[in-house]
Amino acid sequence: MNFASFYERTKELLKSGSYGKISLYLGNETTSQKVKAMLQAELPSKMEDCSVIYKNHEDFNLFLPRI
């Protein structure tokens, strides 16, 4: 998941699915961090926070090199 706005549309799907791991590439701003906390509280064993990869950037897209 890479956009906080997807939370409402996908939370039930994420809960009911048989996913082994769910990778979160949410932004580092307040809203995305709140969504990350909610998902980690609801599905703690499945969530992988990938934002550490781009911790010095606002979000994953700004981390990617421009071609």
48-59 confidence digits (pLDDT tens): 999 999 999 999
pLDDT of residue 23: 92
pLDDT of residue 54: 94
Tokens 């509280």 belong to 41
Question: φ, ψ for residue 28 (rounded to 5)?
Answer: -95, 10
Domain locations in the chain?
A: 4-63
pLDDT of residue 51: 92
Residues of the chain below pLDDT 50: none
* Closest among 9, 64, 7, 17 to 41, alpha carbons compared: 7
